[in-house]
Amino acid sequence: MKKKIKKQSLIRYVILLLISLIPTVITSFTFYKINFNSDSESIAKTLEMIGRRQVSTIIEWKEEFFYDLNTLAHVDCFINLEKDDISKVLEYVKFNKPVFREIYVIDKNGNFIYGYINNKKEFINSFVVRNALGGVEKISDVFKSDGKLYFDVGTPIFKEEEIVGAICARIDLMYLSILMKAIEKDDGIESFIVSKDGIFLTESRYYPDAIGNLKIDIQKIKTSIDFSKTIPYKDYRGKDVYGCYFDINDTGWILLVQKDADEVKNSNKNILDIGKYTAIFQIIGLAALKKLKDENLIDNSILDVIEKQYKDEKKADK
């Protein structure tokens, strides 16, 4: 008889324990899911906002080269292709703006007025020079020369309405990494630029020699982001990240802005911890209650009141 009563008492406590734990577990998981989804959407919006601001700065940086070249193209000595005066002006410009690795001035027949380059024929027939002599300013793809990365920009020189030549500049891409460091303010967010082929054009926070060497599958990343900005994808380290991308007009460059998914998970871990510790305290409380009853250290009427109140609280939580 005593064994039967003891067994019934044990079952009673197991049922009470389950009634206690199930709502706690469900509530904790639900809050975790809601908060996780909310954080994912918030991060996507934050990355979008940061990226748009950075794109604006990068475009301004690029457009400044065209502004400088157009300003020079309107100076009399350039319009008249006066070699000595052009040399004096450009030496001053290059000294004060080291981002210009070299500047070239060419007449409409392809003769060099200023600047030296080994393969003149190849340069004259390049995309940038041909367009500049045709009256259109352009920017080239990034290329490697003497172990460093550069790109060319060019603009026409007009005399009245006639094209008399072109002015082109070779830009050291190192200065793009310097710009990215200046505008990348959040330690938890990484921004970098890759070419249309996925080659790193700016520094990586995790790979010191990434520029010109590290390549990512940019089309796969674009597809993942286009599918959903709130679902993580694998980055170049094999880490899950949230991210967004931006095509930078007329360059073929792509800006990627990303944040590690682990940081989001860790920020929500506290919710699960609270649920876990609450469940542990409930188990300990019920175990202590059973111990008190088994050793007759608490009156049954008091125990019944406690259990009834406990059940009522759980029903109210539901």
Name which of 45-49, 85-89, 294-298 the model is least confident about. 294-298
Q: State the amino acid at position 150 in one-letter form.
A: Y
Structural contact between residues 137 and 155, judged by C-beta atoms closer than 8 angstroms: yes
Quote the CA–CA distance of 8 and 59 in Å, as a whole number: 76
Higher pLDDT, 92 or 33: 92
Domain's final residue, options 151, 172, 193: 172
Query: Quick one: tokens of 104?
Result: 């070239």
Residue 208 lies in a domain: yes
CA 204, chain centre distance (Å): 11
pLDDT band of residue 5 (cuts 50, 70, 90) is very low
Domain co-membership, 166 together with 80: yes
Does 61 have pLDDT greater than 90? yes
Residue 118 lies in a domain: yes
Taking the alpha carbons of 40, 42, 43, 45 in that order, is the dihedral positive or negative? positive
Quote the CA–CA distance of 90 and 86 in Å, as a whole number: 6
User: What count of residues does the chain have?
Assistant: 318
Domain co-membership, 84 together with 229: no
**100-157 tens-digit pLDDT:** 999 999 999 999 999 988 888 899 999 999 999 999 999 999 998 888 899 999 999 9
Residue 313 lies in a domain: no
The DSSP code for 200 is B
Residue 294 lies in a domain: no
Q: What is the mean pLDDT of residues 153-175?
A: 95
Domain co-membership, 123 together with 93: yes
Domain co-membership, 88 together with 218: no
Domain co-membership, 168 together with 221: no
Domain co-membership, 164 together with 203: no
| Contacts for 253 with CB less than 8 Å, ≥ 6 apart | 58, 193, 194, 195, 196, 201, 247
Please tell me the predicted confidence (pLDDT) of residue 287: 56
Please tell me the predicted confidence (pLDDT) of residue 31: 45
CA 217, chain centre distance (Å): 15
Domain's final residue, options 149, 172, 195: 172
Please tell me the predicted confidence (pLDDT) of residue 3: 47
Residue 164 lies in a domain: yes
Residue 124 lies in a domain: yes
Domain co-membership, 119 together with 186: no
Domain's final residue, options 226, 243, 263: 263
Q: What is the mean pLDDT of residues 18-26?
A: 53
Domain co-membership, 181 together with 57: yes
pLDDT band of residue 36 (cuts 50, 70, 90) is very low
Domain region containing 106:
74-172
Q: What is the mean pLDDT of residues 295-306?
A: 52
Does 13 have pLDDT greater than 60? no
Please tell me the predicted confidence (pLDDT) of residue 4: 47
E strands, the chain, are 100-107, 112-114, 138-139, 143-145, 148-159, 162-172, 189-194, 233-234, 240-248, 253-260
Domain co-membership, 184 together with 259: yes
Q: What is the CATH number of the domain that holds 53?
A: 3.30.450.20
Please tell me the predicted confidence (pLDDT) of residue 59: 94
Mean of per-residue pLDDT scores for the chain: 80
Q: Percent of the chain, pLDDT > 70?
A: 69
Q: Percent of the chain, pLDDT > 90?
A: 56
Does 76 have pLDDT greater than 80? yes
Residue 66 lies in a domain: no
Residue 181 lies in a domain: yes
Structural contact between residues 235 and 46, judged by C-beta atoms closer than 8 angstroms: no
Domain co-membership, 189 together with 166: no
Please tell me the predicted confidence (pLDDT) of residue 1: 47
Domain co-membership, 90 together with 233: no
The DSSP code for 88 is H
**204-238 tens-digit pLDDT:** 989 888 999 999 999 999 999 999 888 899 999 99
pLDDT band of residue 182 (cuts 50, 70, 90) is confident
Q: How many domains does the chain have?
A: 2
